[in-house]
Amino acid sequence: MAGTRHDDLWAEIKSRGARLARRSTPSGADLVFYGAERRESLDRVVELKRWLKLNGALWVIRPKGSDAITESEVMSAGKRAGLVDVRS
């Protein structure tokens, strides 16, 4: 997990048996959660992509119900980083 701390999310994920790491430069991660509070925070998406293993996923957590960061801006940041949107 990177960015803004979400200790409640950390605890919930850990309770489900996931192995978690709070490191500044992990590599080979299946999934990275990133808490972004401001648009400028999305510039870090390119760096976070390098943390992922092939077919890994980046989950950006943004302020709900706020226009501080829109879903469209998150999607654009991912595309600029070479990521694709895969929703199920």
Dig out the tokens for 46 from the structure: 């390119």
Q: What is the pLDDT of residue 31?
A: 87
Helices within the chain (DSSP H only): 7-15, 45-49, 71-80
Which H or E run contains 68?
none
Q: Which residue has the tokens 């048996």?
A: 17
* Prediction pTM value: 0.77
Write down the pLDDT at residue 44. 93
Tens digit of each residue's pLDDT (9 = 90 or more) over 30-75:
888 888 989 999 999 999 999 898 889 999 989 888 888 999 999 9
pLDDT, tens only, 7-21 = 788 788 888 888 777
- d(CA 14, CA 6) in angstroms, rounded, equals 12
**Residue in 55, 65, 60, 54 with CA at minimum distance from that of residue 76:** 60
Average pLDDT over every residue of 84-88: 77
Residue 2 clears pLDDT 60, i.e. is over it: no
Domain extents in the chain: 2-80
